[in-house]
Amino acid sequence: MLPGSLTDAETDAIAEEQRFLDRAVARRDRLTEHLRDELEAAVADELGVARQRMLRRQHEELVRARDGLVFGRLDALDGTVRHVGRVGLRDEDETADPLLLDWRAPAARPFYTATAIDPQGQARRRHVRTAGAVVTGVNDEPLDGAGDTGLVGEGALLAALDERRTGRMSTAIATLQREQDDIVRAEATGPLIVQGGPGTGKTVVALHRVAYLLVTHRQMAEQAVLVLGPSARFLEYIGQVLPALGETAVVSATCDTLVPGVVVGREEDRAVSEIKGRALWQAVFDRYVGAMVPRARHLRLRWAGEDYVIGGAVVTQIVASATQGRSYHRARAVFAEQLHLVLAEAVAEQREAMLAAMEEGFEDILARVDRGLPGGHVGASASDVDGLLSEEEIEELRERIAEDAAIARFVEFWWPTREPAAALRELLSDPAALRRFAPELSPEEIAQVVADRAPVAADEAQVVADQALVVADKGPAPRAAAGTSTEAAGQAADADDPRGTGEPRPWAAGDIPLLDALADLLGESGPETPPPGGSVAEHARRQRGWVYGHVVVDEAQELSEMQWQMVLRRCPTRSITAVGDIDQAEASHRHTSWAQAVQATLGERWTAAELTICYRTPREVMALTGPVLERAGSHNTPPRAVRSAGIEPWELTVTPQTLLENAEQSVAALRQRWAGGTVGVVAPVSRVGALRVALPDVPVLTATQAKGLEWDATLVVDPQGIAAEPRGWNGLYVALTRCTQELGQLALAP
């Protein structure tokens, strides 16, 4: 709004809010300086790490609140006035009410939830628009019941939606709607599955929920929060939202990047991806790892020149005790500890027998025994009296046995360490092993899985060499299991490597959840040492087994059952918020409802919520989606669009020969009409490459890649081609709903 068009009342309101903003900025600056001084003093005095972390977090939050510090005001029926902003600011008089309410505070909730029908004790809500430290406008809403639309702050909301897109998601704390705020502040006592169609603000809600939970449940900040998105492009798109809200104890990732040191280096067939995504693999790996545990039998060990036999019954008991509820490698470590103790006791018992025999004249036997005992000779100890070793001497003997290289080699031979990547490759490339451990799979499905691990053709060698490989697989070859020759073990390890480079076939996306599940059952093969230094988020990012305080999953409809298992392993408390649109699912799994999607992992223990209002996509575009959803097999009601762009979607029919030329012309026209905003192109996989060459300065994506993104204008190229892809009608639904203003389509002539 131009200054000359302001009424006297609007000018006065802006001046009033400017005075308050000046006061809030000054207070923020003083508090920032005070916290900086406190932090420096805490570091100098070497105060506790927890206090330093708290002070640093508070200081950084105030520094980041430079923009949008104040964005709202509530005038209560009793005359009380409260301002709402990105952070809370206490007044100079600490006994007084806060100068500025944090948007996450309970007292600020009416700013998002009060309506004319339910004013919640409020007479007026005011949205305050700012640019830096300058108030640029206000939007007042009397809460007197006149003309209620059900939207909170409708004028401010629609103004925000009409702004040009920038390619990065902005915060929406000034315009959250009631149904969105209900989800943001919902209890975090279990899995919450949020269904929301295009433009309903699913991602905004999920990220603001993270910010809210990290303030309400401070322990989550100590454990970090994991945000899972569908792609690296999507994570970049949302990357500034949480820092802008003042939260940094957050790890963002995709399912493909959850296992440290592992990258996806190739595509896989959809049918194979669907097979690998099934929950049955959890039981498969239970059997597979269980079979790795050696069968109990009597063991013959040599210590200090003498042979000792540990009976089969004792070994059986130790193995059973060690494997109870433990991972493979943890059970192996417990077994080794018990074996060392049993051997020490066997040595002590044999010594006792020899000492008894000494009384009959066998001094030479005693001398030979002493050479293997602590101290190397019989000294003045309790054992001189009755021939028995004390508990301290037995413990010292056990420690010497545990440090003995020959004993360690014996344990490694009998119960070898296993490397998860090598173990997974062996299983997936062995039809006999799959028939044994995965009886749920049909012969045809087993053949598909094995073929997926088939050697790389010679003409593909350079392509594969250029792809990212699993870092962990570049270490030494796995040891052969007991009863397996070194030659046979080498052949198994090289099965994926016909080029003889030492580099196995790259992983596909469907392999990552399998590798994660197997790594979890195998456990760490050595002691876990936390990495030095860094934030909580940095520690969490570097450790596969990190347990998070909360997990947010965006585009959750794309997760396979095995990917859901990955989520649960990282948050066993099931404090999970998953948002998505089941009608936009394009993954290879066959789920068409949330109940089907989460049944194998969550059962019935989850809560459903729904976002029903489409704020982003114009009514003119949403009117096109009904037939598309019907062809996709949807049984859901599309969200209700609340705004009109005033621009009807258009479609141009072109020939394959002129497609690229028409695309260039259409994009140029859209960019001119939406100067200062963004334009995106969505096309079938088969046409993306050529379009990217023709349109180097415009994002050209498949429907899958475009999921979760938005532009001012979208050009959908060859919609028939998108619909013909696997789950293509779902993909076309995604493509059509990416714009906030204008939609164009280039259809191919029959």
Question: Do the beta carbons of residue 271 and residue 442 sit within 8 Å?
Answer: no
Q: How far apart, in Å, are the Cα atoms of 255 and each of 7, 299, 643, 726?
A: 53, 44, 35, 21
Rounded Cα gap, residues 191 and 189, in angstroms = 7
Feature table: binding site: 196-203
Buried b (16+ CB within 10 A) or exposed e, 161-181: beeebeeebebbbbbbbbbbb
Residue 114 vs residues 125, 148, 202, 585: alpha-carbon distances, Å:
9, 11, 21, 34
Alpha carbons 547 and 550: distance in angstroms, whole number: 9
Structure tokens at 403: 């440090």
**What would the two tokens of residue 126 be?**
């005011």
What span, in angstroms and rounded, lies between the C-alpha atoms of 529 and 417?
18
CA distance 194 to 609: 5
Give the integer Cα–Cα distance in Å for 147 and 188: 35
The tokens of 302 are what?
Answer: 């040599």
Residue 309's contacts (CB-CB under 8 Å, 6 or more residues apart) are 298, 299, 300, 301
Grouping H, G, I as helix, E, B as strand and the rest as coil, residue 438 is coil
Q: Give the CA dihedral 694, 696, 699, 705, nearest 10 degrees.
A: 70
Question: How far is the C-alpha of 639 from the C-alpha of 488, rounded, in Å?
Answer: 60
- The residue with tokens 């330093």 is 52
Q: Which residues pair with 81 in a beta bridge?
A: 75
Q: Which residues, at least 6 apart from 451, have a Cβ–Cβ distance to it below 8 Å? A: none
Query: DSSP letter at 31?
Result: H
Give the β-pairing of 679-682 and 711-717: parallel
Tokens of 344: 């020490």
Cα–chain center distance at 294 = 35
Report the distance separating Cα 232 and Cα 225, nearest Å: 18
**Which residues, 6+ apart, have CB-to-CB distance to 621 below 8 Å?**
641, 645, 649, 736, 737, 739, 743
Q: Which two tokens stand for residue 393?
A: 């001497």
What are 8's two structure tokens? 């006297």
Q: How far apart are CA 49 and CA 534, in angstroms?
A: 12
Helices (H), 277-419: 280-292, 312-323, 328-358, 363-370, 383-386, 391-402, 405-414
Q: Which amino acid is at 395?
A: E
Spatial distance between the Cα atoms of 35 and 41, rounded to a whole number of angstroms: 10
- Whole-number Å distance between alpha carbons of 216 and 575: 14
Report strand pairing: 306-310 vs 299-303: antiparallel
- Do the Cβ atoms of 548 and 218 come closer than 8 Å? no
Our separate counts of H helices and E strands in the chain read: 33, 20
Instruction: Please list the residues that pair with 680 across neighbouring strands.
Output: 714
Residues placed in the known binding site for ATP: 196-203
H/E stretch holding 628: helix 625-631
- What are 94-100's contacts with CB under 8 Å, separation 24+? 99/23, 99/24, 99/27, 100/24, 100/27, 100/69, 100/70
